[in-house]
Structure 1
Amino acid sequence: MGLKKVYTLNACGEKPAVARRGSLWEALGLPLKDHMVICFTGGGGKTTTMFSLADELAAMGKRVIVTTSTHIFYPENREVVLADRAETVKDYLKDRKEWYSGRTGQILVTGQTALHGKLKGMAPQEMDQLSCFSDVLLVEADGAKRLPLKIPREGEPVLLKGTHGVIGCAGLDAIGSLWEETCFRWELAEAVFGWKTEKELITPDQAARILVSAQGTRKGAESMDYRILLNKADNENRLSDGIRVMECLGEEWAGRCVMTSFFAS
């Protein structure tokens, strides 16, 4: 997974700064619920973030199932059960006594085989049932073609009915970059936000607007616990960009925003 660093905004003092946090779960500040469902939306490092959070939860003794409602790359060095129905996962876990022992945390990945070395999700009504077999169900609920920012189209993201929390992700490498090179579905920006984006650079304010908008990364999560995660805070320049995005989010959302670096230089 590489070297992980987690930051939140430190509001103390005249000049905004970031504070290092001990874990991603601590920084997110989500209330832990029984059979909790957490979905990841947006762009910029959702899969890496999801598995990092799964590892932390397992270290806390939690049973974690990881899946997707879109596609993810088949994870290496993870326990995977190929299934298109929740019942298949249930049957698989019957033979895993350690899963129900409660002595150690566990992680299981599930989905169906897809093209190009990927896993795809099972039907939403089947995925809904997976939370019954786990303490926490983590779902990658959005696709962005590995780009750091995304504007969702109609029907996106695919959030499960029982979702408790949503983590909206973006990569800080989008800031100061061309829309057409770093934002998935960038052509929707004019219709959704009224912005002229062709051959223009993405600003911190625009990234912040997308992240908190009910027509952007927060789409479908308006009634859920929502957190913002800025990935690729890998150096001082990226950290500075992250602070600028946090300032543009405003006080309400800046306190629910986390920055991460999984491959710090």
Structure 2
Amino acid sequence: MDLLDKIDSLIKSDSNKLIIGITGAGGKTTTMIALGQYYRDKGNKVLLSTTTKVQSPRFYNFEVNHVFIDESEFFNHTPKNGESVLFVEKHIMNAKKAIAPRDEILSIITNNYDVVIFEADGARCLPCKIHSDRDPVITEDMNAIIAMVGLSSYGDMAANVVMGENSTQIVDIDYYQNLIDDERGLLKGINENHNAIIFFNQFDLIDDKVADSLKHLKTDYPIVVGSIEKNIMI
């Protein structure tokens, strides 16, 4: 079983619709794109979007069939099986970013799609994150959460690689355990309504012993250690 198959097996829902929120840091956009292609190739109607901000599709290739930044054009589009769509709105203040559709329509943009994947957090390109009061932005409709950590953070000073962190502590296995346990940490916003997993990405940047230790961290949620770019896991 490869990485994407494993993730799919863990987040599947009894519902007819899979609505995924990707939180944390360390490869959220890459994971959203990879999952979008995965579910599209299985014949699903797939929607990619955000509840926060993402790169603007003017400058970033989301590898979808259709891109919409206009609300009326999006709603006039009828998706087909085996098709993926990106719907975001223009960021007036920053041309390099796109923002979430307005709150009033977030719950209805999912209607015509089998799989919807939201990037639901922001980390300013850092591989790890401590959350503020306002994030992650998890909607009531989401039934699956992928909480991510980028392993490029391992061995560095927390203040350098963890958004929201000022500590000089070195990021190690104990730090990741604290990140799981902290109410502002990796699992913030996740509840019993979610099929949730913890995904440690970029495992090819650490040695095998450390990677194996990650799988034994204490949590109620499944832990996956892998590389989304290579679609492999340990």
Verify same fold: TM over 0.5.
yes
> In structure 1, the residue corresponding to 2:149 is in which secondary structure?
strand
Q: In the alignment, is residue 175 of structure 1 matched against residue 128 of structure 2?
A: no
CA distance in structure 2 between the aligned counterparts of 1:203 and 1:124, rounded to whole angstroms = 38
Q: Provide closer, same or farther for how the CA distance between residues 134 and 117 of structure 1 changes in structure 2, counting only shifts above 3 A.
A: same
One-letter amino acid of the counterpart of residue 89, structure 1: F
One-letter amino acid of the counterpart of residue 195, structure 2: D
Which residue among 58, 67, 75 is the counterpart of 1:90?
75
TM (normalized to structure 2)? Answer: 0.85
Match of 1:200 in 2: 169
CA shift for structure 1 position 22? 2.2
- Counterpart contact for 2:12–2:18, Cα < 8 Å: no
1:175-254 map, 5 Å:
175-187=154-166, 197=167, 199-211=168-180, 213-223=182-192, 224-235=194-205, 237=207, 239-250=208-219, 252-253=220-221
Match of 2:11 in 1: 30
Gaps in structure 2 of 5+ consecutive residues: none
Q: Provide closer, same or farther for how the CA distance between residues 137 and 41 of structure 1 changes in structure 2, counting only shifts above 3 A.
A: same
CA distance in structure 1 between the aligned counterparts of 2:169 and 2:182, rounded to whole angstroms = 21
Q: Provide closer, same or farther for how the CA distance between residues 184 and 61 of structure 1 changes in structure 2, counting only shifts above 3 A.
A: same
Q: CA RMSD in A?
A: 2.0
Q: In the alignment, is residue 47 of structure 1 matched against residue 29 of structure 2?
A: yes
Q: In the alignment, is residue 160 of structure 1 matched against residue 139 of structure 2?
A: yes
Runs of 4+ in structure 1 displaced over 6 angstroms?
Answer: none
CA shift for structure 1 position 236? 5.6
Which residue among 108, 119, 128 is the counterpart of 1:129?
108
Match of 1:192 in 2: none
Gaps in structure 1 of 5+ consecutive residues: 1-20, 94-98, 188-196
CA distance in structure 2 between the aligned counterparts of 1:212 and 1:165, rounded to whole angstroms = 20
